[in-house]
Structure 1
Amino acid sequence: MANYAVIRMEKYKKDRLNGTQKHNQREFQKSKNENIDRERTHLNYDLVNEKPISYSKAVHEKIEGRVKRKVRADAVLVSEFLITASPDYMNGMSEKEQRRYFETAVDHLKEKYSAENMLYATVHMDEATPHMHVGIVPITEDGRLSAKDFFNGKLKMKAIQDDFHRHMVENGFDLVRGEPSEKKHENVHQYKINQRQAELERLNAEIA
């Protein structure tokens, strides 16, 4: 079975920041996400921030310091990437190698979108498959907040997947190009549900 490099992206406006922060930083008392193993939550880490942050405050600070024009109320404030790999491949690595995988991915995204634009890089070790959420505030070099400049169009999304796969392979990870592009429109939450379902089906088949 092929081992896929997985990179997906969602765009978040102001109304999504608080919920995203609570999920990524595990700030909730209860969660509808049954995949989370609370006994492993202490293994989660962030490759950008040493401690939890306020997403809204951090985004405001980046925009205030660098964006020249007034930001529209419906503007995309954060483009979030989900980074992982096929479950068998990801879970087959040691925790040290898993961390190197995520660090390598972060280096790639910093190079493409600027370290200054990176808001967080939160690794979740407490779900079925280790994965990372990386938030990018899409500020252009000329001081505009514009997700369209970075991510609009099928060709740009295809290039994101191609470049990510190439970078990971060049750094020693035995992976094939990510999943078919028509699947990219699944949101991150639905993707994780589908991955969990596929893993359960595989385990049930092994038991049978």
Structure 2
Amino acid sequence: MAKQVCDLAAGKGISVSQSDEHLRKARTAVKNKSWSGNYDPTREHLNFEVVKGGIVKNIDKSKSIPTRIREILKARGILDPNIGLDKPRYRTVANFILGGSRGQMHRLAFGNQTVILDPGSDNSGITRMKDIEDWAVDMYNFMSKKYGEKNIAAFIVHLDETNPHIHCTILPITEKNKFSWKKVIAGADKFEYRDRMLKLHDELAEVNKKYQLERGDDISRTKAKHRTLEEYHQWEQKELRNKVAKQRITIKEQEDYIINISSDIKRAETKLKGLTTMISNLETIHAEKQLEIDKLQEKLAAGGGDYNGLIEKIVNLKKELKNIEEKLDDKQDKLKKAKTEIGSLILQKDDNEKINLDLQEKQESLVREIERTTLNLQDREMSNMESLALDHFRQSRNSQIKKAEEYEAGLNENERKIIDNYNTAVFGGSPVDDMAAKTNEVVAVATALYFGYIDQAIKFATDHGGGGGGNLPSDWGKKDDEDDWAWRRRSFGMALHLMKPSKKRNLKR
């Protein structure tokens, strides 16, 4: 039976970039190109969302998920605890991914229709099945009952990716209209959190029974390790590389097998040729002996020669003829077997050449998939870093505007004439200027640091005018208890540090 999927990730809010991807709202050509590698544009029209009351409708792209959250909080008179903080500290969003094994999810979403998953395929003729809508509504009702329908900020169903799934955005708000990750989601400690998650999976499995999806094994018994989305993509890429390596071994084995079969065919053909020659020679001898017997019998019938001598010769020739016929029968039988053997070997060779060709095509497809996933992973992270850069730039600009207003408030009419000095005092040499001029460079360095390419990040920074921020800490790396967005923000901060103008100092790792 197919397995259900339920993944949970905490968030200290949700970025516009994340929202755009969930809603498939590409604001730039770069994002559109990046996303096109992760999903099938010809199936995007199959996506939908479930809204209040369990109503299925097309995805509303007019409002981002952050906007939806703000409207929910405003209507309920709830303050986002992260507003006003330099860095968000509170987990205000629970990001659930709901799904199941690919085969069963495809049956629910597409029925008996064949969906071609190769990049660039045209699946525009595929239609959405009602089963996937029923499943999504049941999932919506389950999450509504579990966490409160009014706490569901978005419930998006994606049918345009490899495996159909749901992105459910939950606000961890209590009945008293207060944000509390522990009370709503996690519990008091890790033990209660584990119990809650076990219960969640058990309860979800009861709903999923009707859709032939069963609960997966408890990771406390299987010792499986939870992976974040980024870790999953990196693991997926590693698996693809392993598949390519195994394919190469299999292809080499197939090629060796084909060489051996070709040698067997060559030997069988030589044997066949030898048998054919032998049979031809025996048939010639047989004809000569038969002709000799015929002549002796004619002579015997005419009464010429030694009667007893002629009879003896005929008897001996018939014995030779019988011996030749026995040899002919043996060679004919061997010839028949040799022909059968060659036919079988040729079929085997043809089949294995087809298999090898198919393996080579699959290998080429896997190599293309690796290249695509590598670019997608990099593009995805560049997009995330661009989102951080935009937030950083906006916050820095707001801070500068506030300083500007304070500065301007203290100027009289005459002093306003020195506005140039004012601009220099407020904005000159600020991080805002550096950020505006070096956004792309900072994003590139941050992305390299995020993926662990430390030497490349340092070299890029120094080659593009950075290097004034000092050395990178020797213990630089992702901490065991650090989530992806915290690690991403730290990488971005370090990138800003590395991209400070150089004072002719050499960076060392």
When structure 1 is superposed on structure 2, of 64-73 and 149-158 the one drifting more is 64-73
TM-score (norm 2): 0.36
- Name the CA shift for 1:44/1:70 in 2 (closer, same or farther; >3 Å): closer
Does 1:143 find its partner at 2:177? yes
Match of 1:57 among 67, 83, 99: 67
Return 5+ residue gaps in structure 1 as ranges: none
Counterparts of 1:129 and 1:46 in 2: how far apart (Å)? 16
Distance 1:62 1:192 in 2: 33
SS in 1 for 2:9: strand
Matched residues in 2 for 1:62 and 1:83: separation?
A: 23
Match of 1:7 in 2: 6
- Please tell me the residue identity of whatever aligns with 1:186: R
Q: CA deviation at 1:142?
A: 1.1
CA distance in 2, matches of 1:158, 1:62: 30
Relative to structure 2, which stretch is displaced further, 79-88 or 146-155?
146-155
Partners of 1:6 and 1:179 within 8 A in 2? no
Aligned to 1:163: 203
Which residue does 1:77 correspond to in 2?
Answer: 92
Using the alignment, how far apart are the partners of 2:139 and 2:235 within structure 1? Answer: 23
Aligned counterparts of 2:64 and 2:184: Cα–Cα separation in 1: 24
How much does 1:179 deviate?
A: 4.8
CA distance in 2, matches of 1:179, 1:194: 20
Alignment partner of 1:186: what SS? coil
1:27 and 2:37 aligned: no
Is the strand fraction higher in 1 or 2? 1
Which of 170, 175, 190 is residue 213 of structure 2 equivalent to? Answer: 175
User: How many angstroms does 1:58 deviate by?
Assistant: 1.8
Letter in 2 for 1:56: P
Greater radius of gyration (CA): 2
CA distance in 1, matches of 2:149, 2:49: 14
User: 1:62 Cα deviation (Å)?
Assistant: 2.2
Displacement of 1:156 in angstroms is: 1.4
1:127 is aligned to 2:165:
no
Higher relative contact order by CA 8 Å / sep ≥ 6: 1 or 2?
1
Contact 2:93 2:172 (C-alpha < 8 Å) held by counterparts: yes
**Structure number having the greater helix percentage:** 2
Q: Identity of counterpart residues, as a percentage?
A: 23
Confirm whether residue 44 of structure 1 aligns to residue 44 of structure 2: no
Cα distance change on mapping 1:191 and 1:98 into 2, 3 Å: farther
Q: Matched residues in 1 for 2:102 and 2:233: separation?
A: 11
Task: Identify if the C-alpha distance between structure 1 residues 139 and 67 changes in structure 2 by more than 3 Å, giving closer, same or farther.
Answer: farther
Gaps of 5+ in 2: 27-31, 52-56, 83-87, 112-128, 187-192, 251-357, 360-509
Distance 1:71 1:133 in 2: 23
Question: CA offsets, 1:26-63, max 9 Å, x none?
Answer: 12223257231111111111112751222222212222
Q: Which residue of 1 aligns with 2:105?
A: 90
Letter paired with 1:174? Q
Aligned length: 200
TM-score by length of 1: 0.82
